[in-house]
Structure 1
Amino acid sequence: MKVNHWSLPNGATCVVADIEQSTLTCIDFWCKGGSLYELKDEEGMAHFLEHMIFKGSKNLKEGEFDLKIESLGGSSNAATGLDDVHYHVLVPPEKIEDGLKLILELLLFPKIEQDAFEIEKKVVLEEIAQNIEQPDEIIYMKLLNECLSPHRYSKPILGNEKTVKSLNPKQMKLFHKNHYVGKNCTLCIAGDLPNEINSIINNSKIMELRTISEKTAITNKIIFNKGYKKETIPRLEGGRILKAWKLPPAKEQVLILGAEIVATMLCEGKSSLIVKELREEKRIIESIDIDLQILEEGGLILLDVSCPQENLKIAESEINYILKKSIRELVTNKNLERAKKLVINNIYFGLELSTQIASTLGNQALWGRHQAILKSIDDISYWTTSRLNELILPLFNPENAFTLIAEPEK
């Protein structure tokens, strides 16, 4: 796979990855326009704009983009995150130029008309209403609010009913104008590419992205709040233990890789330390998962345990004991090698499709992390038992966590 990076005069970055004989090509457009960049009373704007992007542009009527992409034999999707937002289309290799024209027209020149805005606002409000009824979402947002407040990362990407109701098309057009600009955007195309792919991009409408953007006030540096809280949650089935720890910012790729190795040792597979002891042998928990939420300003290590309500106290005690024991004692080479193999497999599995490759390369380029796509596999060898013990395991100290104990509402 050949990868090529370059920058355009307007500040936008471009990445192409030539994957010979790939059946579908992914065109992935990234923008530093996630919910992090919303100002006070704009909560939900980034996600709402993602909806409105698909409601037509200067030269595309509502619904026309989807019909034209489908006629090319393609599909489209989008996702708004805390840091960024991205839109991608999948098309056959011979339709790259057509697909690129369509997605750039949609993204660069959205109409954001009053009637469509009000109709779509109802859709977004319904999405919020459904979300806040979900026990998993309630628990997750309570945890974020406790450990990251007042940072913007502690607020829901969808926003809330009050802020979304107050948004208007003029505000949204200004948000788009300020954030969808050259220096904030990356275009990544991965698949079976024509020889003239660079020329196709350099002569596309991406050149029409504005060169400068207004400075946007972003919440101050993250302050992680340690603590402990119990909550009762409506419609929750069984008990839940959630722990959050501070994770280094996304640019600290090697440290994050170390955290992923430790998380794998603790929780991935029947022979992992916590699963083996608490689920397979003692049978006091039903499931346990550790997820790394990797964010630009500083992420989170999230541990989530499900167990019968009557086992909450013993399960929490046992988990804390295993974590503290892991910090005191060097992990075995056997456990380390097993975890490394699983992490390497996950990296490979995450790069099997053109969509996965475009997403990885596009995100890296957006945030200035130009590196070989498999560099993390080379970095695995850095992590020894002693280095993990010194640099990573202390991150998992239960005394440095925020713990949320969730019980069903009686």
Structure 2
Amino acid sequence: TYLYELPNGLRIVFTPTAKSGIVYCGFLIGTGSRYESEKDNGMAHFIEHSLFKGTQKRSSGKILTRLESVGGELNAFTMREKTCFYAISLKQYFERAVDLLTDLVFNPLFPENELEKEKKVIIEEIEMYEDNPEETIYDEFTGLLFNNHPLGHNILGKIETVSNFRRDDVVNFWKSFYYPGNMIFSVVGSISFRKLENIINKYLLILKDASPENEFVSVGNYEPFRHTKDKDYQQVQVILGNRAYPLKEKKRIVLSLINNILGGDWMSSRLNVILREKHAFAYNISSGYNAYLDSGSFTIQYGTDIQYLDKSISLVSKELKKLRENKLSSFELNRAKRQMLSQYAMYRENYGLVMQNQARNLMDLGYVLSKHEYFKMVNHIDAMAVLETVNDVMDEKEMSLLIYKNRQKLSSEIKK
């Protein structure tokens, strides 16, 4: 992996591949929903959409067809602290991909008529997510967990905020964050370093840096909560969790392992076995750990029938208590490590994810985590570290709970 920085502040990370005829590249920008004010909620995501609506030399139609006409892909996504624009193409069209990405990220027009149309599109997206109980309860829980701090903002924003966006506000937000010193350009593919350098010098070296002053607001204190709300969903939705470790905390690797054991992407995870396989109380149950610059979140989430609500919460609580009070056996710890290392090995075969994650590493940590370093971190985890981390993050008194109930279904169950 090659790392270097241009005079304008743009950092480049490049990992060559031996066999693939595909090149993955993208800009990672240090902005997301946590950098929005209350009235600007949804702005980072709105700009992500709006950059596809025309530049100084391309219409929106030409942006959409420029790569697709040669079988490539152009896309973007917004997170709480980052936004990513990426392209996938055959290596002979790599220069076309870089040209297109650079144009839409640095030369947007933000045409008024297109912005008004995009507001309607995003409002439809918000309404679509509001019809999804898993998404809705997760977003509300995250907002409560971070106690109205922007880190807990809904990434899509609210209908009332998106409806009131003005072009001047959009342009000002874009100028505040879309500059080379706040970005990483990441490339993975079977191209030579010389070719990459030539293309970077042609399209990226000429970009001008800026130095806007953006305020970073740290998250405040956390107070555990327990709320039950009436919602018009068929299932009861349950989510419980706590704040967790930030990106640079060494114990985050231990929490990732615990997350795998509890409710990761394995049918043999503890919570899946106990709630689904043994008791048939849920179709899907998962846990998740998200790390941010100065905080993090750990959650357990599932849907169940109203008659199983109390029993299912009790079973989850018992599993957490077991982890808090008992060291993992050598067998289970070693199995969990093997699972994590296998996941990492499979991830390394997905060059699109490698392109994104090496950019995140560089932005968050200042370096790209190597396979050797990752394996060393995982193999270094011991049972005592797991026990301490579980008691730190999953302390029963510090866990919060949010439940969505359907009042009508509850009434019918009582009548039975």
Q: Would you say same fold, with TM above 0.5? A: yes
1:267 aligns to what? 263
* Cα offset, 1:247, TM superposition: 1.4
Change (3 A) 1:118 1:277: closer
Change (3 A) 1:205 1:176: farther
Equivalent in 180, 189, 192 of residue 191 of structure 1: 189
Equivalent in 153, 156, 162 of residue 154 of structure 2: 156
Contact 1:222 1:298 in 2 (8 A): no
* Cα offset, 1:270, TM superposition: 4.5
What is the one-letter code of the residue matched to 1:121?
A: K
Distance 2:167 2:355 in 1: 31
What is the one-letter code of the residue matched to 1:277?
A: I
Equivalent in 347, 350, 367 of residue 350 of structure 1: 347
**Greater mean deviation of Cα atoms: 282-291 or 80-89:** 282-291
Write out per-residue CA displacement over residues 54-73 of structure 1, whole angstroms, 9 at most, x where no aligned residue.
11111111210221112333
Change (3 A) 1:208 1:171: farther
* Cα offset, 1:115, TM superposition: 1.3
Equivalent in 62, 65, 70 of residue 64 of structure 1: 62
Change (3 A) 1:219 1:409: farther
Write out per-residue CA displacement over residues 105-148 of structure 1, whole angstroms, 9 at most, x where no aligned residue.
11100010111111112111222222223222221122122221
Distance 1:51 1:14 in 2: 24
What is the one-letter code of the residue matched to 1:369?
A: G
Give the 5 Å matches for 1:279-358. Answer: 279-358=276-355
Structure 2 gaps of 5+ residues are 409-416
Contact 1:138 1:233 in 2 (8 A): no
* Cα offset, 1:157, TM superposition: 0.8
Distance 2:16 2:207 in 1: 25
Tell me, what secondary structure is at the counterpart of 2:74?
A: strand
* Cα offset, 1:306, TM superposition: 2.5
* Cα offset, 1:162, TM superposition: 1.5
Contact 2:19 2:190 in 1 (8 A): yes
Contact 1:19 1:192 in 2 (8 A): yes
Equivalent in 128, 131, 135 of residue 130 of structure 1: 128
Write out per-residue CA displacement over residues 155-191 of structure 1, whole angstroms, 9 at most, x where no aligned residue.
1111111111111111111111111112101100101
Distance 2:365 2:143 in 1: 29
What is the one-letter code of the residue matched to 2:385?
A: R
1:99 aligns to what? 97
* Cα offset, 1:198, TM superposition: 4.2
Distance 2:37 2:343 in 1: 37
Equivalent in 35, 39, 47 of residue 49 of structure 1: 47
Contact 1:180 1:209 in 2 (8 A): no
**Greater mean deviation of Cα atoms: 269-278 or 308-317:** 269-278
**Greater mean deviation of Cα atoms: 268-277 or 50-59:** 268-277
Equivalent in 384, 389, 397 of residue 391 of structure 1: 389
Contact 1:22 1:354 in 2 (8 A): no
Distance 1:332 1:306 in 2: 30
What is the one-letter code of the residue matched to 1:145?
A: G
2:412 aligns to what? none
RMSD of aligned Cα (Å): 1.8
Distance 1:115 1:283 in 2: 52
1:377 aligns to what? 375
Structure 1 gaps of 5+ residues are none
Distance 1:232 1:48 in 2: 30
What is the one-letter code of the residue matched to 2:297?
A: L
Change (3 A) 1:195 1:184: closer
Give the 5 Å matches for 1:186-265. Answer: 186-234=184-232, 236-252=233-249, 254-265=250-261
Contact 2:34 2:153 in 1 (8 A): no
Distance 1:225 1:210 in 2: 44
Change (3 A) 1:210 1:356: same
Contact 1:17 1:189 in 2 (8 A): yes
Aligned length: 406
Contact 1:258 1:392 in 2 (8 A): no
What is the one-letter code of the residue matched to 2:99?
A: K
* Cα offset, 1:284, TM superposition: 3.7
1:87 pairs with 2:97? no
Identity of aligned residues (%): 21
Distance 1:283 1:69 in 2: 47
What is the one-letter code of the residue matched to 2:296?
A: G
Distance 2:347 2:402 in 1: 31
Change (3 A) 1:385 1:42: same
What is the one-letter code of the residue matched to 1:373?
A: S
Distance 2:236 2:223 in 1: 23
Distance 1:144 1:81 in 2: 13
